[in-house]
Copies of this chain bind each other. A is one copy, B any other.
């Protein structure tokens, strides 16, 4: 079973990487880019085939490793 995880910075947390991308786009002549926020995207290939167990396992992985719960949110999607 495949799981897709998005890790994004919480609202209000400064995102210098996103700001740098926005600046670079502006320098390249792209106008009308108000804001850019950059996050992480992970695709996990799991041996587990039960959706509930897979979701619980990935949730645990996010809390323990993939996301910094102080400044980041995460979202989990499972491929059915």
Known: A21-B65, A24-B65, A66-B21. A44 touches B40 (CB 8 A): no
A38 touches B41 (CB 8 A): yes
- Number of chain A interface residues as a range: 20 to 34
A61 touches B18 (CB 8 A): no
B34 touches A45 (CB 8 A): yes
B21 touches A42 (CB 8 A): yes
A30 is contacted by which of B34, B35, B61 (Cβ under 8 Å)? B61
A30 touches B66 (CB 8 A): no
C-alpha gap A57/B26 in the complex (Å): 12
Chain A positions within 8 Å of B, measured between CB atoms, are: 6-8, 18, 21, 24-25, 28, 30-48, 57, 60-61, 64-66
